[in-house]
Structure 1
Amino acid sequence: MPLHAHPPRALRRLLLALATLVAVLTVAAPARAASPTWGLADQKSEIFGTPEFGELHAAGMDTARLVVRFDALKYRKNRKYKHYAATIDAWLRGAQAADVRPLVSFWITVTNSKSLRKSISEKRYMQEFRRFRKAYPWVRDFSIFNEPNLTGPFKRNPRALGRIYKAVRHELRNCRSCRVLGGDLHLTSGASAGAYAAEVRRGARRTIGLWGLNNYNDVNDRTYRNTASFLRTSAVRRAKVWITESGGVYARKLSSERKNPFLAQRKKAKSDSAREKYQYEATRFYKRLVTKYRRQIQRAYIYQLQSEPNDRWKRGSRNGSWDSGLLDPKGEPRKAFDYVLRHVL
């Protein structure tokens, strides 16, 4: 048959059927979810100069989270409160020098103002947000408020937080690389956190496409339950989520361990080896949880590199009110650090 001749009718039908099948399979095949980005949450600017953070950064950890008092920069020359602004500046300059992208989560006032602890107006919040943007125009990732459903002026007024979210989004309307979270919600119950998110969305009168979540209970109890429930709620199920603070906890202050015991406390883990084992297992579970829900969870931050440095710390003992450090208070790497370095990044 000449090369320019038409193929037989049967062959044409076969080729058409094969082409249709390939098209159907291409459309039907689910897109592979991108691997979540991992970051570090830690309030200390010194972390960026440590060799351990250098190892994490070299392995791919290129974002870090900082919680700031929303009005700290207003009082940068105030003798009583100026250390808040100085701490922010040192941390952000350290992140910039280390080529780390910061996520900034705003929080309560630096002052003892009773009115600001009960309520923050949209006008006041936006004044301080613009002040922050002017000082650090290169910061691109923001969360409107840290754990607003747990404590602070928005605990009983989530719609006010929604209105502030809308105002911030409008302020950043020309910043295509900026990301804004509707808040870093504290998770104990997926349903209650989801209901709070729905109220924030009602206040914003618009879809909120990105939420923050702090889910220590699920991670340290090694359960998906409340995180999964939260991800299915009406305000969140079509959104993306960043876990802005979580990780395996080595020890907390005694009252916290008694009031809200994690699996480690229920199993009476008190020795250094037992505490470190439960922290390590929680860190491994954190990785599994993020991987399981990677279609929604885009980023996950580990808190923290180290609790307060303490050369007198004794193994198995508490160090301050909270210790979830990948390094112990003396600066020695724990098992969780090696796991993050080798298996998470």
Structure 2
Amino acid sequence: MQIPFVDLQAQYQSLKDELDTAVLTVMRQCNFILGKEVSDFEQAFADYVGARHCVGVASGLDALKLALEAFGIGPGDEVIVPAHTFIASALAVSAVGARPVLVEVDEASFNLDPARIEAAITPRTKAIMPVHLYGQPADMAPILDIARQHNLRVIEDASQAHGARYRGQRVGTFGDAGCFSFYPGKNLGAYGDAGGLVTNDAGLAEKVRFLRNYGQEVKYKHVVKGYNLRLDTLQAAVLGVKLRHLDTWNARRAAHAAAYTHALEGVGDLQLPRVVTGDHVFHLYVIRTQRRDALQTHLNQRGIATVIHYPVPMHLQAAYADLGYGRGAFPITERLSDEILSLPMYAELTAEQQDYVIQAVKDFFA
């Protein structure tokens, strides 16, 4: 049996008529730039997460970058970022000329450890960027307390946590802004790059709208120096269809995660994901084992696709050698990079496919 890591073909087939109709409508209207589908999706997504505003942009990285820029964060400033995350979180900080200051993560949740934040704050610190990694909410209450005490912005990277809740509230709505990626493989994914920023701050939303569209207040009237970072109308049409199914998909992911956990508890030296804070939407199902590389090879030989998120810690990437961190700077992050493995996880995963994956993992440790 061949088990893909993510099966976008299966998802497309389940929504083919809806998606084809939405895309063909855009094609017939030929309104490809900031068409009605963009504003419709922005309103629908804002309503879904419980925010007053959503601004569609070209990617999750762009959402983070524009949030930072709109808040006036730039050269000479510092932004606190978890050490274990996808590099885009830090790249957004670098893109505005600020410095990402990495902070170790909590070993149970893999998210930013609130107990370590204050030690990293300096007079140059302007914001904290918690990441809701793998679909598990970061522990927002203590993070927000620290931010208030030090007058810092909070910009949530919710790129992997569409629909996740912390204390009953959707992530992305706790801080000053919440940033989402709609990369195709995400719980809510477009058919190309796409992103969005949500906020309750009308002024921030307006400024990001200007920045994403050449700094224009109206056409050919440029009030700030902006960019071309708009959400494509075709992608908005796709997202509008998929958003209606997101809660159902997330429920299926949670059921798949529960099945994995029930079947693999106590197998070998496996450490399974723990739901530590809020409602985990399981963008990824990430296991840990000291025999990670051998297990991945074994599963590949059985036709099972897996991914390591992320094999090289950010502080050891050549791109961030200038930050001056060396091996040993973040021991938890380094252990995670050596031990984590993501198993197949998508809403359309069948019971037969999941049973095959589970048996293959058990066979390895047997």
Bigger radius of gyration, 1 or 2? 1
Report the TM-score when normalising by structure 1: 0.28
Task: Give the TM-score, by structure 2 length.
Answer: 0.27
Which structure has more RCO (C-alpha within 8 Å, separation ≥ 6)? 2
